[in-house]
Amino acid sequence: MTATVEKHVFQAEVNEVLSLVVNSLYSHREVFLRELISNAADAIDQLNFRSLTEHALLGDDKELRIELIRDDKAGTLTIRDNGVGMTRDEMIGNLGTIARSGSKKLMQSLSAEQKKDITLIGQFGVGFYSAFLVADSVTVTSRKAGSDEAWQWTSQAKGDFEVQKAERAGRGTDVILHLKDDAKEYLNEWPVREVVGKYSDFVRWPIRMEVERSGGDEKKLEWTTLNQARALWTRAKGDVTDEQHREFYKALAHDWTDPLAWTHFKVEGTHELTGLLYVPGKAPFDLVEKRKSGVKLFVKRVFIMDDAQEIVPEWLRFVKGVVDSEDLPLNVSREILQKDATTRFIKKQVVGKVLSLLEELAAEGETEREVDGEKQKVDRFLQFWGEFGRLLKEGVYHDVDARDRLSKLLRFRSTKDDGLHGFAAYVARMPADQKAIYYVAADSLATAKASPHIEALKKRSYEVLLLTDAIDEWIVDALRQFDDKPFVSAAKGALDLPESDEQKQAKEAKQKELAPLTERMQKALAEQVKSVRVTDRLTDSPACLVNDEHGMSARQERVLRDAGHDVPTQKRILELNADHAVVKRLQGLADETAFADWSALLYDQALVAEGTLPADPAAFARRLTALMSKA
Ligand code: ADP
């Protein structure tokens, strides 16, 4: 009886990833072994976890291990595990598609140049496909734990793969690499040993290989374990080298770039746990939408689950690593985790350790470090901020307990210079008479900087924070103050700038003088504005629009509306610069039609100055043209 061979074509993205992997990662091809061993270790972890409740699953095959089998004659290197295995459908699903949503979109958006950038390619989680770096043909034979059926998957990476029934003695997976001519070195003991030592020493399961042992004249083959087979996090802090951390991280996170920083900790006392947490060097392309955490939960060295959301708050989803608890039961499930008090304790520790790490990075400032073998001046915190700052803002908003410490880590642009500034440094620079932390929000840095709302603040040499992220205004609203200094929007309420008695009297006199004008304009713009008043915000512009102190800003309304919320538009207050020539001209303008036109124009230009299109752009243009033709 001949087995039926089914032919399947790869998902289009797989073809692209495959050709990228093979073409771009050639000089890093030794990592294939790290990737395949890491998959094998994961499969054993899963089996080990399931066997906690399904005792029969292990059967007679109790010694969990990975084996590397070199076959000179066949020219193959096999990575064998007795892990959980795959069913036929799982093989087709796992080895013929790319699971990460959005990878297709990303792939299409990459330029030819970017496609050579291995850090970008690494984001696809190339894992298994790296087999084709060294093999022109790959055969995977697998038998799922608990099943007596084995299946075989074969591909030459030419657009398709074949699946057929197969024989396999026990559960687990063989990945058989038919080595390319120029990769035959991996049939020898030492190249394999070297790569395992470099990339996979930390793997928790023994990686075994038959090696030649010369005893007398006879050469004998003997199984030996190539790795320490001890979880990295259980080793003493001082015993783990930077190099080991980097390789462990890369295997764990399926990343190609070095981690930026890490923290390795042990908590002892009523609860005991060990953790090894990494901050990646680069954000994944789907950082914002992706909700999965990157932390694996272990209990007493037994792998329990990936993506342990219960022990890591969502805003820390950039963190990769492991947490190993001594207190949780081995049969812990997500449901138990959600209720268990230990979970809260662990989560608190995780948050605390990551915050301490980030605080250290922030305090470190610019230092000389080795990056890709070269000494460079780097500010790791600013690098972190560029990649993940967005998530700290989420943290400030959602995590009230962490808010205080997080607020010290936030960085913003300001009118001071082009750098990024924290609140503490801002407050330290405040002139003696400045009472608040001022900010202005706009869609772009240029618009924020040029905002009329900050004219008077700039004139007084008050620094103004320039907030350009949609979430920023909610952050300062949530914080309300920093170091007892309130956050004050340059475009809301009254600025309450310190003033002498003389200035105060002069202002009141102006208000009185302009009262007829503001009343008249309020009538002319009754549809658009809530009120019209004289301002002390402006020095150069004739007018600006402001909100009530406690209301949402126009930008916040717009952000919500863009996100699909039904938000009514609040009318705003039009503020006039009493000293501006235009305002003075308006005072003397008797013609009602002309007055109405000018008022509308003044209102619309205030919108334009903050980056908003007037409600009726055509009318705006018409009025402007009419005015220009009179000039
Ligand atoms: P990733 O490991 O990032 O998910 P891979 O391409 O390396 O991506 O592997 C895809 C999937 O194939 C894995 O998630 C796993 O489900 C399955 N797989 C790969 N190797 C093995 C193996 N040795 N045993 C069982 N399943 C495996």
Secondary structure (DSSP) of 299-344: ETTEEEESS-GGGS-GGGTT-EEEEEESSS-TT--HHHHHH-HHHH
In angstroms, what is the span from residue 107 Cα to ligand 1's centroid? 21
Q: Do 237 and 382 reside in the same domain of the chain?
A: yes
Point out the domain boundary residue: 370, 388, 407: 407
Q: Is 610 in the pocket of ligand 1 (CB under 6 A)?
A: no
Q: Do 85 and 204 reside in the same domain of the chain?
A: yes
Q: Do 265 and 363 reside in the same domain of the chain?
A: yes
Element of type H or E holding 519: helix 501-524
Q: What CATH number should be reported for the domain holding residue 351?
A: 3.30.230.80
What SS3 state is found at 363?
A: helix
**Of residues 19, 13, 83, 87, the one with CA closest to residue 45:** 83
Question: Sign of torsion, CA 589 591 595 601?
Answer: negative
Q: Is 208 in the pocket of ligand 1 (CB under 6 A)?
A: no
In angstroms, what is the span from residue 39 Cα to ligand 1's centroid? 5
pLDDT interval class at 18 (50, 70, 90): confident
Q: Whose CA is nearest to atom 23 of ligand 1?
A: 40
- The pLDDT assigned to 552 comes to 87
- Is the pLDDT at 218 greater than 80, yes or no? no
Q: How many domains does the chain have?
A: 4
Q: What CATH number should be reported for the domain holding residue 155?
A: 3.30.565.10
Q: Is 40 in the pocket of ligand 1 (CB under 6 A)?
A: yes
Torsions phi, psi of 61, nearest 5?
-95, 75
Q: What CATH number should be reported for the domain holding residue 433?
A: 3.40.50.11260
Q: Is 43 in the pocket of ligand 1 (CB under 6 A)?
A: yes
In angstroms, what is the span from residue 127 Cα to ligand 1's centroid? 7
What SS3 state is found at 137?
A: strand
What SS3 state is found at 287?
A: coil
Rounded to whole angstroms, the Cα distance separating 367 from 582 reads 53
- Is the pLDDT at 81 greater than 80, yes or no? yes
Mutate to test the pocket of ligand 1, among 21, 39, 129 (most ligand atoms within 8 A of CB): 39
- The pLDDT assigned to 454 comes to 95
pLDDT interval class at 623 (50, 70, 90): very high
Q: Give the pair of three-digit tokens for residue 501.
A: 């008695």
pLDDT interval class at 16 (50, 70, 90): confident
What's the farthest any 2 CA atoms get from each other in the chain?
A: 117
For 401, other C-beta atoms within 10 Å of its C-beta total 13
Rounded to whole angstroms, the Cα distance separating 50 from 58 reads 9
Question: How, if at all, do strands 294-299 and 218-225 pair?
Answer: unpaired
Per-residue burial over 379-395, b if 16 or more Cβ lie within 10 Å, else e, is bbbbbbbebbbbbbbbb
Q: Do 260 and 397 reside in the same domain of the chain?
A: yes
Q: Is 81 in the pocket of ligand 1 (CB under 6 A)?
A: yes
Among the atoms of ligand 1, which is closest to the Cα of residue 79? 23
Q: Is 87 in the pocket of ligand 1 (CB under 6 A)?
A: no
In angstroms, what is the span from residue 14 Cα to ligand 1's centroid? 14
Q: What CATH number should be reported for the domain holding residue 514?
A: 1.20.120.790
Among the atoms of ligand 1, which is closest to the Cα of residue 127? 7
Q: Is 128 in the pocket of ligand 1 (CB under 6 A)?
A: yes
For residues 209-228, give the mean pLDDT: 86
Q: What is the pLDDT of residues 354-381, one digit of tens each?
A: 999 999 999 999 999 877 778 889 999 9
Q: Do 520 and 612 reside in the same domain of the chain?
A: yes
In angstroms, what is the span from residue 94 Cα to ligand 1's centroid? 6
- The pLDDT assigned to 28 comes to 80
- The pLDDT assigned to 452 comes to 93
Average pLDDT, the chain: 90
- Is the pLDDT at 43 greater than 60, yes or no? yes
Element of type H or E holding 121: helix 118-122
402's CB contacts (< 8 A; 6+ apart) are: 313, 351, 355, 395, 396
Rounded to whole angstroms, the Cα distance separating 287 from 274 reads 26
- The pLDDT assigned to 123 comes to 64
Q: Do 355 and 432 reside in the same domain of the chain?
A: no
Distance from chain centroid for Cα 349: 21
Q: Do 221 and 80 reside in the same domain of the chain?
A: yes
Q: Do 266 and 375 reside in the same domain of the chain?
A: yes
Query: Which residues form the domain of 444?
Result: 412-490
Q: Do 504 and 381 reside in the same domain of the chain?
A: no
Q: Whose CA is nearest to atom 18 of ligand 1?
A: 39
Q: Give the pair of three-digit tokens for residue 53.
A: 């409740």
- The pLDDT assigned to 217 comes to 73
Q: What is the pLDDT of residues 92-147, one digit of tens each?
A: 988 877 655 566 666 667 777 776 666 666 666 668 888 999 999 999 999 999 99
Q: Give the pair of three-digit tokens for residue 442.
A: 């706009």
**Of residues 136, 132, 124, the one with CA closest to residue 97:** 124
For residues 387-403, give the mean pLDDT: 95
183's CB contacts (< 8 A; 6+ apart) are: 29, 133, 134, 135
Q: Whose CA is nearest to atom 8 of ligand 1?
A: 127
Q: Do 308 and 194 reside in the same domain of the chain?
A: no
Burial zone of 437 (CB within 10 Å; 0-12 exposed, 13-18 middle, 19+ buried): buried
For residues 35-46, give the mean pLDDT: 93
336's CB contacts (< 8 A; 6+ apart) are: 328, 329
- Is the pLDDT at 322 greater than 90, yes or no? yes
Q: Do 484 and 530 reside in the same domain of the chain?
A: no
What's the order of all strands across the beta sheet hosting 259-267? 259-267, 273-280, 320-325, 294-299, 302-305
Q: Whose CA is nearest to atom 15 of ligand 1?
A: 94
Q: Whose CA is nearest to atom 7 of ligand 1?
A: 127
For residues 377-394, give the mean pLDDT: 96
- The pLDDT assigned to 286 comes to 77
- Is the pLDDT at 515 greater than 90, yes or no? yes
Point out the domain boundary residue: 407, 430, 459: 407
Q: Give the pair of three-digit tokens for residue 543.
A: 């007018």
Point out the domain boundary residue: 225, 247, 272: 225
Q: By the 8 A CB rule, do 334 and 310 touch?
A: yes
**Of residues 414, 33, 417, 394, the one with CA closest to residue 192:** 33
Q: What is the pLDDT of residues 548-585, one digit of tens each?
A: 888 888 888 888 998 899 988 889 999 999 999 999 99
In angstroms, what is the span from residue 540 Cα to ligand 1's centroid? 63
Q: Do 172 and 38 reside in the same domain of the chain?
A: yes
- In percent, the amount of the chain with pLDDT more than 70 equals 95
Among the atoms of ligand 1, which is closest to the Cα of residue 46? 25
Question: Sign of torsion, CA 176 179 185 187?
Answer: positive
Rounded to whole angstroms, the Cα distance separating 339 from 333 reads 10
